[in-house]
Each structure stands twice: as C-alpha cells, then as structure tokens.
Chain A
Amino acid sequence: MTQTTGSAAPAVRDTGPPPSRTPLEAPQITVRGVSKRFGGVVALRGVDVTIQQHEKVAILGPSGCGKSTLLQIVAGLLEPDAGSLNVAGATSAKDRLARCAMMPQRDLLLPWRTALDNASIALENRGLRRREARERTRPLFERFGLAKFEELRPAQLSGGMRQRVSFIRTLMAEKDILLLDEPFGALDSITRAQMQEWLLHAMEDVPRTVLLVTHDVEEALLLADRVVVLSAHPGRVVRVVDSRLSLSGPRREIVTDPEFVKLRELALEALE
C-alpha cells in the first residue's frame, strides 16, 4: 500500500546471463510470466527467469515475497495461475517434479532413520534395496566431512551437520537441477557462514544447476552467479545482479572486498 513506487515501476525481465556469456544451447529452466495468487493475496506477478545448465541463480527477496512459492512452482509442487514453465523439457507439474530435487529450509530428517538412511531415501524411493542405497550414498559422507557420522540419528547431530545430511539427500536424488529453499535459514549466523562456504565448495565438486532462494544478500551473492531480486506484494523481478565474482579466498575476505560491497549495495538498493 505504501510502496507505490515499487509496484509502479516496470517489471525487470530476467532474460538469462549477459549476452557475452550466453551459451548457444537452450536454457535449462525457463520461467515465463508466472503469476500465482493465494486467496486475495498476489504472491507472484509476471515473473520471468531463465537459467542455463549448471548455472547458479539466487532468488533474493524479503520474507513473504513469494520466492518459496516460485521454487515450489518450478519444482512441480504447485501449478501457477498464469504463465508457463519449461524445466529441462518438462512443462507439467508431474514431469517437473521428476526433474528437480529440492532441499527444504528445515532439514526434515526422519528421526527414525540414521543419517545414512536419511540421505539414501531417494534411492529407496526409486526401488533400490536399502543396503544398495546405503552403499551408494556412503562415499558422499566421506566427501562432505561426515565420515563416522553415518549411523547417528538426526537428534545426535548438530544443526549444521543435519543440513549437510539434508544436502546429501538432495544430491542422491541424482537430478541435474537442485532447488535450495533457504537452505541455511534455520541455522545460527556463525554456522550459516560456515555452511555457505561449505556449500560453495561442495557445488564445485558436483556441478548442478542450482536455483537458490534466500533473504540473505551475502548468501545470494556468494553462492550464485546471478541474483534475481524479487519485490514483495506482489512478488516480481525488480533487478538482476550479475554476481559472478572474480574473488576467491575465505568468505571473510570476500565479503569486505570493494567489488563485493558494491554488488551488495546494488542488491540492497533494489530491495528497498
């Protein structure tokens, strides 16, 4: 109501990465003119997002801007009221569901399963025997710093470790597209910073197309190649920030670098 300037401004269209870098192949995810309302509330209005294969894109916005809704629509858990989607060739919700794996904000580990059994649940869902599923998942525990923790129950793990198990579970769905819904939103800020760094390296190991939803500006800029800023009420794209950083090194140094600070200003300005 008070934000007349925000809704009057023309919607920014995200048409993919800048032309200089556009690969010749067709985008892997295309979201075109997607709108969704819940009752009287318009959650999303005319959202366009284009993502190339193995590109990492963050959707940044205040809470309640419909970014999780957008993720669920891409995942195939929801159908939009208007607009169209193409997710690796899938257009219907049912087919989209088969193309993506989603990592929820809460770890949602099942308390009756060990860490390893939780992580291999997608393989079991696909009909693998439990033992086979476990053996295929086990190497990832070693790789992601969870060796020796395979047989512990979720209640015996710290928040950061549970989130890592949740990430492995998402990877074990063996999909090319990962949807991360505020993956570290439930963690304290120290653990969150560690997990962001961890995820950054984890994703170098296993190249996937990533669509990440967050309300944390630094998280978006650190983890993604491109940040799509969404406004609230209704959720629409207000700015696209190219966040392919030329920086490397520890997180602490990156976030204080002038290049990073400038990008953060750019994103924060769009959020206002």
Chain B
Amino acid sequence: MSTTDLELADAPDADREPDFSDFDDLVVKRRFARLRRFGSNYGAAAGVVVLMVVAWQVIVHLAGLPEYLMPVPTEVARSLGDDWSAILAPATLTTLKEVLIGFAIATGVGVGIAVFLHLFGPLRRALYPLLIASQTVPVIVLAPILVVLFGYGIVPKLVIVALICFFPIVVNGLDGMRSVDDDYIRMMRTLDASRWAIFKRVEFPAALPLIFSGMRIAATFASIGAVFGEWAGSNAGLGYVMLEATPNLQTARIFAAIFILTVISIVLFGAVSVAEHLIAPWSQRRTSR
C-alpha cells in the first residue's frame, strides 16, 4: 500500500491536521489571538488601578489630609520626577542589583537542590522535612545577624533575597519532577533509557513549567527581601531612601520608592514569564477559555 492511500484514508481527520500551506497563517493568527487575550486579561486590571488612583486622589483631597500624612498620587508623581536623578535613580540601581543577583542565586541554588534531592531519594526523605521546617524561621529577622556577619555591603542583601526566593523554586521543582506519569517512565525504560536519560529527557523538562511558576512566586518576594536587608544596615538603595525619608516626613518620596519597588517586581515577574515562553513554550496554559 502506498503512502498516498494512507493519507487519503486519513481524510476524516483532516480538520484536525494542520494544512501546510496555511501553517504560517495559523501562527500569525495565533499571535493576534494572544495579543487580544493579553488585552482582555490585563485591560480590566488596568482599569481598576486607574479607578483606585483617582479615588485615592479624590478621597485624600476631600479629607484634607496633609502631604506628610498621606500624599496624593500627583505629589508622589512629582517626587518621582524631582528626586529621580539625584536620589531615586542610584537607589534603584543598587536595589535592582540586589534583587537580580539574589534572584539569580536563588534560582540556581533552588533548581540545584531540587534536582539533587530528586535524584537521591534517601537524601530527599532526610532533608525535605527540614527544608520545610526551615521556612518557619522568619528569614527577615536574620537580617541584622547577617549584617553583623557580612557588613553593610551587598552580601547580606543577596543572602536574604536568595533565602526568601529559593523555597518556592525548590518545592515546585521537586513536585514537578516527581509528578511525571509512571507511564512515561515505563515507556522510557523499555526504550533503553538510563536513570539519567529519564531525568534529562522526561523529568526535568516536565518540571520546567512548575519551576517557572515557582520563580514567578519568588519574583514577587525578591524586592521585599532586598528592602529588609537594606533596613537592617546599609547606606544605599530604595530601602535606605525610605529609612532616610521617614524622620524628615518626606512621605511622597517613600511612596515613590514603593512605586519603583512594585515596578521592579512586576518587571521581574514579566521577565520570568517571557523566559518561560522562550524556554518552555509547551507549558502555555490554556487561558483562552
């Protein structure tokens, strides 16, 4: 039997099989759909933010609160403009460095620990409960101790950011690697796969989407860690700017710093999503419904 007969035999399935002439077209259409989905996903959220900012402005104005107690959004925006080049920009750079390097360390160490614990079962049983128990230690209170140990430089901030961020990555990574369907493992074993081949070709790629969602959770914690590190002892960074502004009642500047921290978190979160899209495109969850 020739292959053409087989293809004809497949005709009832035709609507499910991509036709090659249309393939590029299909990709383009999908891109547009994604853009529209982005709009419908975040458009509503943007509207809520705008509403809240307006409400904030109106309420504070009507209540007649002084700026040092509660600045209105326009004052925060003015502080953002006036203080940017002299104060906020260098502070942002310092804090951004702490966040990014700390987050990178957390990702590397987190994935490393997850892989290690996954491949060595007895070790996992011994250490995993301890790992979870370690999370009951409020990492933030360690900040002063770390400052004593490592000084006012970047090191204690990196340690804190990494300590806060690595946990969701480890837990998600481990869960992802362990939750692979046994059928896949069996299939690989009948195809001459070694333990390492199963890990490399099945378990690790299968865990990537979960590792990325762990990283997304971690991304929202990272800037908190950096600020606490700076509060415990520093002479630069957004946390330091906030500490300095408080006794001077420069409340608008504090809010401006908070705003920048939020932007850092959102950008990091978005960067993780973009990285996931590039590295693990198959993990796109169906959001069209």
**Stretch with Cβ within 8 A of A (4 or more), from B10-18, B125-133, B237-245:** B10-18
**Stretch with Cβ within 8 A of A (4 or more), from B54-62, B134-142, B194-202:** B194-202
Is the CB–CB distance between A201 and B201 below 8 Å? no
Interface status of A157 (Cβ within 8 A of chain B): yes
Task: Mark A55-87 against chain B: 1 for CB-CB distance below 8 A, else 0.
Answer: 000000000000000001001110000000000
Closest CB in chain B relative to A93 CB, distance in Å: 10
Is the CB–CB distance between A158 and B183 below 8 Å? no
Q: Which of B168-192 contact A (CB under 8 A)?
A: 181, 183-184, 186-192
Is the CB–CB distance between B17 and A161 below 8 Å? yes
Task: Mark B1-34 against chain A: 1 for CB-CB distance below 8 A, else 0.
Answer: 1010011011011001110100000000000000
Interface status of B193 (Cβ within 8 A of chain A): yes
Which listed residue, B10, B191, B197, touches A194 by the CB 8 Å rule? B10
Using Cβ atoms and an 8 Å threshold, which residues of chain B touch A197? 1, 9
Using Cβ atoms and an 8 Å threshold, which residues of chain B touch A159? 13, 16
Closest CB in chain A relative to B232 CB, distance in Å: 43
Using Cβ atoms and an 8 Å threshold, which residues of chain B touch A143? 3
Task: Count A/B pairs, Cβ under 8 Å.
Answer: 89
Interface status of A176 (Cβ within 8 A of chain B): no
Is the CB–CB distance between A158 and B10 below 8 Å? yes
Interface status of A26 (Cβ within 8 A of chain B): no
Knowing A98-B192, A145-B7 are in contact, say whether A108-B187 is a contact too (CB < 8 A): yes
Using Cβ atoms and an 8 Å threshold, which residues of chain A touch B187? 102, 104, 108
A126-B192, A159-B13 known, 20 other contacts, Cβ within 8 Å: A101-B190, A102-B187, A104-B186, A108-B181, A108-B184, A108-B187, A110-B184, A110-B205, A112-B205, A125-B188, A125-B197, A144-B6, A145-B6, A147-B3, A155-B282, A156-B18, A157-B17, A191-B12, A194-B10, A197-B9
